[in-house]
Chain A
């Protein structure tokens, strides 16, 4: 038997924080690729500490629903799962290349395939584009549209910015948009000045965050000037400084993220059959895949 475990942050305060993990887990359950699919959280239950023992499978694929490599993927998750032999060096990553490692866990007799985070997988670029399509209702963009990928920035770790630049560069190379920029909440270039960085009248703004919360629902809309007070809401698109801003909310809520989770497991050797195609079909990602 094989199991997939999606590990997310969760929250003691915000009940919506775990929703993307649940939603993507359900999509993958539906595909039938795994005998067991389980969600586990740092702040909710089952905890990382207790999740592996709830599984009957002996092959377990663990995929972090996190945006970047760093504190959580390199320290907290391996420690709490008791992947005692984990060494971040084994990932041979410079910040965006973590793939997978196979390890034992200290409390169970299982083989654990520990994967890199969803946020740095190549397919996340497709999800960002898909998110832009969802929020604008368009299938194509062309030169008249700009795309801003928003990240948190330095506060957490340097790799957080690397992941943002990585996808911004990839999407720029795809030629899907007239312009593509990486912007941040607390480092330059700042999301506050997003309109300064674009010639295009239309700008799609996609935050590379796992779930909606304080940052994506309150800070970023206010920082960009979409609204003075997030409680009163904002229009999509909103006019700011002569630009039309299409603000999408957290990319992690896009159904196509399920495909990235599944691909992470497949990259780690999980035999998932035709589940990747099935999940793409279901989550609107079939086109994104074709164009890749």
Chain B
């Protein structure tokens, strides 16, 4: 139905939307916007079909629909706030209005008759010439691996691959695409904005686990902090952590600045916590190692490089970096025996039988 037909169709019931009012008035109709106020016949109402207020109403009420849905709220949010008037919004949309969602840049552009078209790509690829897609389903495969071809088990890890754009999408396809890149983020963001995000804190989420994950509720308090620091901070996950130990005890780890919330510990965190729990059952022991000061710092450099995912960036010949491969090989050649024991110190000295040492491949 054209905008003109839709206006005529809706006139008797009246319209009150984004600054547009249409209502029966005496024997005619009143067409009112912040810029004009006219009393018109039904035929004359058609002539107002190219008013931005009319096309805007038509887009949101006839095309998008879905009042109270996350989809509609997200599309509204993309246009940047309810404070702007329709002509102001149209000005911004003319050349494309972009907002960020995780690592995505989402752009809304004004089309004919108030229609919006949408585009979504990696935020680093804005303005770049990349492969264009139009079917949201293709997003599943595209974002499955990072730029280095490694599988991404956590969709909100900040490792979104580059080099693609979904273009010329309608609102439904846009939201579907975003949801394949960052599943359920729109729904939970929407709940949070409505003030009813149902957060499941660690103790509830851990207590619910069964089978091999049943052990995670034994994770010590301190270790929960470390687990969140390991997995949930912005450098690892773009969701903003809203869960804590329980409703009263917050974790000290920064929640992150993400647009969308994390409402409960995810499966990846729970699986990691299972390992952390068993690791934390071990008692510490005293070992004696000899290291030079530089070697001690080098061990620290290596842990840092692995923890920050920087090993790939350390150049082959950059022997000034402690986590450089040649430096690590040098340290291993010097300090580790044939069984990989640091300083030749066995991990479990009490199990260590001197006579069998040479056959021991552990």
Which residues, 1 to 51 on A, are CB-close (under 8 Å) to B? 11-15, 22, 26, 29, 42-47, 49-51
Chain B interface: which of A71-79, A92-100, A166-174, A197-205?
A71-79
Hey, which chain A residues are within 8 Å of B144, CB to CB? 15
| Count, chain B residues at interface, CB 8 A | 30
A215 to chain B, nearest CB (A): 17
Chain A interface: which of B181-189, B310-318, B352-360?
B181-189
B191–A47 CB distance below 8 A: no
Per-position binary interface string of chain B over residues 183-221, scored 1 when its CB falls under 8 Å from any chain A CB and 0 otherwise: 110111001000000101000000010110000000000
Q: What is the CA–CA distance of A79 and B263 in the complex, to the nearest angstrom?
A: 17
Q: What is the CA–CA distance of A79 and B210 in the complex, to the nearest angstrom?
A: 10
Q: What is the CA–CA distance of A43 and B213 in the complex, to the nearest angstrom?
A: 13
Per-position binary interface string of chain A over residues 55-85, scored 1 when its CB falls under 8 Å from any chain B CB and 0 otherwise: 0100000000000000100011001000000
A12–B268 CB distance below 8 A: yes
Hey, which chain B residues are within 8 Å of A42, CB to CB? 267
A53–B187 CB distance below 8 A: yes
Hey, which chain B residues are within 8 Å of A15, CB to CB? 144-145, 151
Hey, which chain B residues are within 8 Å of A49, CB to CB? 200, 264
Which residues, 63 to 119 on B, are CB-close (under 8 Å) to A? 66, 69-71
B184–A71 CB distance below 8 A: no
Instruction: Name 7 interchain pairs, CB-CB below 8 A, sorted by A.
Output: A11-B153, A12-B267, A15-B151, A45-B266, A49-B200, A53-B184, A54-B186
A107–B267 CB distance below 8 A: no
Q: Is B223 an interface residue (CB 8 A)?
A: no
Hey, which chain A residues are within 8 Å of B151, CB to CB? 13-15
Residue among A11, A14, A22, A45 having the largest count of chain B Cβ atoms under 10 Å: A45
Residue in contact with B188 in the complex, picked from A22, A26, A53, A75, CB distance below 8 Å = A53
Q: Is B10 an interface residue (CB 8 A)?
A: no
A130 to chain B, nearest CB (A): 24
Q: What is the CA–CA distance of A47 and B239 in the complex, to the nearest angstrom?
A: 15
Answer whether A51 and B211 are a contact pair too, CB < 8 Å, given A12-B268, A107-B198: no
Hey, which chain B residues are within 8 Å of A71, CB to CB? 211
Which residues, 148 to 180 on B, are CB-close (under 8 Å) to A? 151, 153-155, 179
Residue among B71, B187, B200, B210 having the largest count of chain A Cβ atoms under 10 Å: B187
Answer whether A54 and B179 are a contact pair too, CB < 8 Å, given A12-B271, A26-B137, A47-B267: yes
A30 to chain B, nearest CB (A): 10
A21 to chain B, nearest CB (A): 10
Hey, which chain B residues are within 8 Å of A47, CB to CB? 184, 266-267
A32 to chain B, nearest CB (A): 15
Known pairs A43-B271, A50-B183, A79-B208; list 15 more (Cβ under 8 Å).
A11-B153, A12-B267, A13-B151, A43-B267, A44-B155, A45-B266, A46-B183, A46-B184, A50-B187, A53-B70, A54-B179, A54-B186, A54-B187, A56-B66, A76-B210
Hey, which chain B residues are within 8 Å of A76, CB to CB? 210-211
B209 to chain A, nearest CB (A): 10
Hey, which chain B residues are within 8 Å of A54, CB to CB? 70, 179, 183-184, 186-187
Chain A contacts to B: CB under 8 angstroms: 11-15, 22, 26, 29, 42-47, 49-51, 53-54, 56, 71, 75-76, 79, 107
Report the nearest B residue to A48, measured CB to CB: B267
Hey, which chain A residues are within 8 Å of B137, CB to CB? 26, 29
B142 to chain A, nearest CB (A): 13
Q: What is the CA–CA distance of A236 and B198 in the complex, to the nearest angstrom?
A: 52
Answer whether A53 and B191 are a contact pair too, CB < 8 Å, given A13-B151, A43-B153, A47-B266: yes
Q: Is B339 an interface residue (CB 8 A)?
A: no
Q: Is B140 an interface residue (CB 8 A)?
A: yes
A56–B71 CB distance below 8 A: yes
Hey, which chain B residues are within 8 Å of A75, CB to CB? 210
Q: What is the CA–CA distance of A51 and B191 in the complex, to the nearest angstrom?
A: 14
Hey, which chain B residues are within 8 Å of A29, CB to CB? 137
B194 to chain A, nearest CB (A): 12
Q: Which 6 interchain pairs have the tightest Cβ spacing?
A: A50-B184, A46-B183, A45-B183, A12-B153, A15-B151, A46-B184
Which residues, 256 to 273 on B, are CB-close (under 8 Å) to A? 263-264, 266-268, 271
Q: What is the CA–CA distance of A50 and B145 in the complex, to the nearest angstrom?
A: 22
Q: What is the CA–CA distance of A26 and B264 in the complex, to the nearest angstrom?
A: 29
Report the nearest B residue to A42, measured CB to CB: B267
Hey, which chain A residues are within 8 Å of B155, CB to CB? 44-45
Q: What is the CA–CA distance of A75 and B209 in the complex, to the nearest angstrom?
A: 10
Q: What is the CA–CA distance of A47 and B155 in the complex, to the nearest angstrom?
A: 11
Hey, which chain B residues are within 8 Å of A11, CB to CB? 153
